Amino acid sequence: MQAMGAYGFRGFYEKKEHFLKSIPFALENLKYLLENNNIPVELPELLNVLDAISQSIYLRKIGLQEDGLTIRVTSFSFKKGIPQDPSGNGGGYVFDCRAIHNPGRYEEYKQLTGKDQPVIDFLEKDNSDMADFLKSVFALVDQSVKTYLARGFSHLSVNFGCTGGQHRSVYAAERLAAHLRENYKVNVLLSHREQDF
């Protein structure tokens, strides 16, 4: 845990991305230690937390990078702040989905996310603003991707925020990730910050 804290500090705060690449290995070490636990004291809550950390999808994606252009697409809740850019390059996009009608206001959607079909159907209705919103997003991001590829850039971040990071932002991030994978030879790292922990 101390090593992971150091990797996170050096990577996120000092913007030294190579430290972030060690996080998946640290998670494997933590998993091994938990599976071979011989601590003589019972620490159920601590062990539960450590187990959750070792299985975190979000943490496992950090530091993964292939050659070429890597595009990080993230959904998040504005209540918890805009995601950090672990590449250290800064920039990229932050799109605000809060102007789009929120399915989370309705009881039948409260426990669902933007990956569930009922929410997808809600956001793809004829009277939804989501289609126009994404059309504009795709145009802006496509312009950057083409330029980044031509200039040999290695990182681009695109973030979608909404109130809870559960419905609109998740849906928008999923659609953009699919669009990028279908149209460009790029590495797409998709994460839903509030859902993946």
* Cα–Cα dist 98/165, whole Å: 10
List the domain boundaries for the chain. Answer: 2-61, 70-196
**Res 67: pLDDT:** 66
Q: Is the pLDDT of residue 88 over 90?
A: no
Percent of the chain scored above 90 by pLDDT? 56
* pLDDT for residue 171 is more than 60: yes
Residues 4-9 have a mean pLDDT of 79
Q: What mean pLDDT, rounded, does the chain reach? A: 88
Between CA 64 and CA 187 the distance in angstroms is 10
What type of residue is 34?
L
Report whether 36 contacts 3 (CB < 8 A): no
> 147: burial class by Cβ within 10 Å (0-12, 13-18, 19+)?
exposed
pLDDT given at position 35? 85
Query: What pLDDT does 134 receive?
Result: 97
Percent of the chain topping pLDDT 70: 92
Higher pLDDT, 14 or 74: 74
Contacts for 141 with CB less than 8 Å, ≥ 6 apart: 93, 156, 158, 176, 180
Rounded-to-integer distance, Cα 171 and Cα 165, Å: 10
Mean pLDDT, range 75-103, rounded to an integer: 91
Q: Residue 165 and residue 79: Cα distance in Å, rounded?
A: 9
User: For strand 70-77 and strand 93-96, is the pairing parallel, antiparallel, or unpaired?
Assistant: unpaired
pTM higher than 0.85 for the full model?
no
Of 50-54, 114-118, 136-140, 161-165, where does mean pLDDT reach its minimum? 50-54
Give the pLDDT score at 85.
83
User: Would the pLDDT of 132 be above 80?
Assistant: yes
2-11, 17-26, 84-93, 103-112, range with greatest mean pLDDT: 103-112
Q: Which contacts of 26-30 are long-range, i.e. CB under 8 A and separated by 24 or more positions?
A: 27/53, 27/54, 27/56, 27/59, 27/60, 30/1, 30/4, 30/54
Residue with the bigger pLDDT between 41 and 63: it is 41
